[in-house]
Structure 1
Amino acid sequence: MTTFEKHYIGKGTKLENLDIIRVVLPAEGLDAAMFEKNGIKYLSFEVAKLKEADKFGRTHTCYFQTKVYTDNPVQDEPVKQKKADKKSSKKQAQPAEDDLPF
């Protein structure tokens, strides 16, 4: 199963009386949002309107997405199981502890 993870990289402001959004992004860390095709490097990101402006008056947010693959897609269990099977399947259904430090 594939899902997408958002990585927020900056914010922007809609310019008065124009349909233009001014976006300021830090150059550091943008390598992760870049890809190459036919020898040309591209920067890919999305700009989304915020529900309301933040305390600095910024009206839009910017992010790029990465694909997240899961190794074990969720599978439907059989409707009828024996009592012993239920106990063993409950042990298997619990997620394993992550080795991540955070």
Structure 2
Amino acid sequence: MRAGLLREILVFKELREHQSETGFVVKEYEEVFRCKGYRRKMSLVVDKDGISAMEQFIGRTIVFQVRAYPIIKDSQRVVYMNNIYEIKMIDPQRDNTLILTLGRVDT
């Protein structure tokens, strides 16, 4: 992968627990990592009738290619363009990169 392709900024957040002064435990997503990625184009799946099988899901799913960092995990969330996404799949590649499939989370 060429370094010039990495233009989009991804913010990875992880669920962490904090205890307040009164002892109440609060779970919040905190930023743990920031990196650049390349947004890949989605390809439509067409069946014999010419209809896309992924038609209803394509607007909520995006695919990114990032460099392989050991800090990236399935349980994290990703903030991209002020939208929150959960990691659906991490696909390691041979060239020390990861393909991340992200699904948008309703807030």
TM-score when scaled to structure 1? 0.23
Higher strand content, 1 or 2: 2
**Greater relative contact order (CA < 8 Å, ≥ 6 in sequence):** 1
Higher helix content, 1 or 2: 1
